[in-house]
Structure 1
């Protein structure tokens, strides 16, 4: 799921990656809200609340929401820099490295959530999750040429409306069936991603209520499992020499 990129990917690979990471993102976003009352991935809502506090003259609270947004942006920035360095070195597993880094950081965040007192736990959790959501979203955006987003719903909901409208128009004018196939593929991708995010949200709150920090460790394990095939491909090629270079081949079917 994290080896082929761009046009070398197909709809099945994109759906598997989108559903898995959206499930994790939905769980973390909802669990974070349940635990500390803030969303880590909903930048639209956070910017709206930021604007509301500034308009009411509550600058201190406004700055807090600005910090959440900035942390999300920094996560995406760090992920992009890591990917850019890896791509310049033709590292086939660089996207897997990014997701593995998210898993490691999420494990550290789980330890902080487990060990820190309540007064310190909240800010660490919300800013940590915001950073990780920015990192994850940058990975899937880059690897899929922006076909996949996993940490927020607004864009995908818009895409679903566009695709449904396109299908209605296609049926109205009785267009050829092959014309509708790419639209149906996009609709399946976005609908599956939204459903996965929703199911992840439900499961995240239930799991956090039952296991607390165990949810973060479980999500980290899922992320590492997603990254493992790409890491094995990278490690199997060694390091530093020509064998470590990536040769992306669209004909290769990714497992």
Structure 2
């Protein structure tokens, strides 16, 4: 699942990867929002909030949202650098290593939140969570040839609507066979992102910052088999 790239991948491996990573993204996003009222995976909303606060001269709030966006971009940049280095060194497990980096960061953030005697700065915490989401989204995008985008729900929802319209417009069985797997992938991504969001809220209510550590577990389980 974390070795083959692009067209070498099967729809089944893309489906499994999308379900696991979207679940993690939805959980981290919702838990972070419940705790700090910032989204770590919703860059569309964060850019919009930056514009809104700039328009009314609330520069401190605008800077907070802009920082979260910048951290997401930095996460994607970091993941791409790691992947490029891994490819040059011919490491077939570079995607697994990249997701392990994400998992470690989630665990560190979760422990910092759980063990801190004082409430941590919300922009700092969500910014670090956004960093992990940027890492994840870049890794899933690159390994799948842009088919799997686990944090970009607005784009996935758009693709789902477009795909449904195309499905209604085609008549040949071959065309339908080409469209249906993509629709399944988009639908699974949205469903598991939402499911992760529900469990993220419940998990944070029960466990607090430890919930971020819990959402690192699927990443570790997914990646550890490729580390040898």
User: Unaligned 5+ residue runs, structure 2?
Assistant: none
- Which residue does 2:8 correspond to in 1? 8
Cα distance, 1:214 vs structure 2: 2.7
The Cα offsets for residues 44-80 of structure 1, whole Å up to 9 and x where unpaired, read as 0000010011111122211111111001000000000
2:216 is paired with a residue whose SS is helix
Deviation at residue 156 of structure 1 after TM alignment: 0.3
Indicate if the aligned counterparts of 2:111 and 2:210 stay in contact, CA closer than 8 A: no
Task: Report the alpha carbon displacement of residue 215 of structure 1 after superposing the two structures with TM.
Answer: 1.5
* TM-score when normalising by structure 1: 0.87
The superposition leaves residues 140-168 of structure 1 with CA deviations (integer Å, 9 ceiling, x where unpaired) of: 00000100001131000000011000011
- Between the aligned partners of 2:63 and 2:123, the Cα distance in structure 1 is 13
Deviation, 1:117, is 3.7
Distance 2:124 2:216 in 1: 17
CA contact (8 A) 1:140 1:146 kept: yes
Contact 1:113–1:121 at 8 Å: present in 2 too?
no
Distance verdict in 2 for CA 1:63–1:69, change over 3 Å? same
Q: TM-score, normalised by structure 2?
A: 0.97
Find the aligned partners of 2:141 and 2:64 in 1 and give their Cα distance: 27
Q: Distance in 1 between matches of 2:104 and 2:174?
A: 44
Task: Quote the Cα distance in structure 1 between the aligned partners of 2:204 and 2:60.
Answer: 29
Are 1:114 and 2:83 matched, yes or no? Answer: no
Shift of 1:10: 0.6
Alignment of 1:94-109 (within 5 A): 94-109=94-109
| Matches for 1:39-54 after TM superposition, within 5 Å | 39-54=39-54
Residue 219 of structure 1 aligns with which residue?
215
Partner of 1:179: 175
State yes or no: 1:154 paired with 2:150.
Answer: no
Task: State how 1:191-210 maps to structure 2 within 5 Å.
Answer: 191-210=187-206
Q: How many residues align?
A: 228
Q: Tell me whether 117-126 or 147-156 shows the greater mean CA deviation.
A: 117-126
Q: Partner of 1:119: helix, strand, or coil?
A: coil
Structure 1 residue 118, shift from structure 2 partner = 4.2
Counterpart for residue 245 of structure 1: none
2:3 alignment partner, SS class: coil
Indicate whether 1:82 and 2:82 are aligned: yes
Summarize deviations over 1:150-200 as a string: whole Å, max 9, x none.
113100000001100001111xxxx22111111000000000110000011
CA–CA distance in 2 between the matches of 1:43 and 1:210? 27
